[in-house]
Amino acid sequence: MQLPYYIDLLGTLVFAVSGALAASDKNMYRDIFGVAFTGFVTAVGGGTLRDMILGVRPVWVADGNYLIVVTLGVLLALFFKYYFLKFRRTFFLFDTMGIALYTIVGVQKSLAFGVSPLAAIILGMFSAVMGGVIRDTLINEIPLIFRKEIYATACLSGAALFVLLKSLGVDDNVNAFSGVILIFMIRILSVKYKWTLPKVGYR
């Protein structure tokens, strides 16, 4: 199962909204350009890094629809900020579905371009989280993936499950579905029950 085109666009929209909201929250990017730029980087940064490593042209460069969707996401964030904040839980579910889908799309694309299974797992995770990492680095913050509950690790787990099932010869539809669900579940449960990874006990 190649995840359909419109799902990829939907993920881009969700990430553009969440990136633009993050910028406005920090009160650092105070003008419209800053918010738009942040939404753009969050939405396309991870996939762009993955594609540059794979040696292929990022999808938003050739297909103008992605940039239209990013613009739409930024406008939504600007005009409906209070709505998004009010329905924070709904938005959290969207964002979680976004990283789950992006991860598996990233793994599939990486494998299709002939990378090793281990590299595909890492590049899948990159697709989902590196947009946020680049955004946080630009606004001079420790990237969220190092501060919050299990996040990138959920992506790595789902990506690893996909690669494992694929190596066992399981049908690709099942693999993709299983990977997405695993990421979704780990992320939801880790927030709900405040799971964290083992701390490294240095002093």
Nearest 5 degrees, angle CA 169-CA 48-CA 114?
A: 30
Q: Which residues from 58-117 bind a second copy, rule CB under 8 A?
A: 58, 60-64, 67-68, 78, 81, 114-117
Nearer to a second copy, 9 or 177 (CB): 9
Nearer to a second copy, 71 or 178 (CB): 71
Of 1, 5, 30, 86, the residue at the interface with a second copy (CB under 8 A) is 30
- C-alpha of 53 from chain center: 17
Q: Which residues from 135-194 bind a second copy, rule CB under 8 A?
A: 137-143, 145-146, 150, 152-153
Nearest 5 degrees, angle CA 84-CA 90-CA 96?
A: 110
What whole-number distance in Å separates Cα of residue 20 and Cα of residue 35?
Answer: 5
What whole-number distance in Å separates Cα of residue 131 and Cα of residue 99?
Answer: 11
Q: Cβ distance 167 to 117 under 8 Å?
A: yes
Enumerate binding residues for a second copy (CB under 8 A): 24-25, 27-35, 37, 40, 48, 52-58, 60-64, 67-68, 78, 81, 114-119, 122-123, 133, 137-143, 145-146, 150, 152-153, 196-200, 202
